[in-house]
Each structure stands twice: as C-alpha cells, then as structure tokens.
Amino acid sequence: MGCLDTDIELFTAALLQARIIIRKKDGAVVNCGGSIQRFTPFTVKIGGLSYIRNEFDFVVYSPRG
C-alpha cells in the first residue's frame, strides 16, 4: 500500500485503527508506530508523538505472509 497523503486517507486509517509505519522521506523507518490518534493539516499524532506531515511518510502496516 502507498503512503497516506490525503486527509480522507488519514481519516480512514484512524477510523479503522490501522497500524501505521512512519518513514522519513528517504525511506528510512522511524517508528513502527501504532494507530493515528489525531491529525491536522500539518501534523499526524501516533503513539503520543507528533510528526510533521511534509517531513514523513505514513504507511499502513501490512504483514507479509
């Protein structure tokens, strides 16, 4: 699955309580996070930490198997 970029994508992931992976724009994983607690036009709060939307990518965790 691709990055969650739009408000509706973030809203849907928050409603579904999907597990979110936080990555830097260069692809490095910062945190395997948790579910979205809150988002604004500028930030996304996951696991009690706020991440600036234009500095990070947010991806729904999907286990391989």
DSSP 26-48: TS-EEE----EEEE-SSEEEETT
* 12-45 residue pLDDT tens: 999 999 999 999 999 899 988 899 999 999 999 9
Question: Total structural domains in the chain?
Answer: 1
Residue 1 lies in a domain: no
Instruction: Please tell me the chain's helix, strand, coil percentages from 3-state DSSP, rounded to the nearest 5.
Output: 15, 40, 45
The C-alpha atoms of residue 7 and residue 35 are separated, in whole angstroms, by 15
Residue 12 lies in a domain: yes
Q: Which amino acid is at 15?
A: L
Residue 47 lies in a domain: yes
Residue 65 lies in a domain: no
Q: Confirm whether pTM is higher than 0.85.
A: yes
Residue 23 lies in a domain: yes
CATH number at residue 33: 2.30.30
Residue 2 lies in a domain: no
Instruction: Identify the pLDDT of residue 41.
Output: 97
Question: With 60 as the cut, is the pLDDT of residue 65 above it?
Answer: no
Confidence of residue 62 (pLDDT cuts 50, 70, 90): confident
- Domain extent at residue 34: 7-60
Q: Does residue 21 contact residue 10 with C-beta atoms inside 8 Å?
A: no
Residue 28 lies in a domain: yes
Question: With 70 as the cut, is the pLDDT of residue 50 above it?
Answer: yes
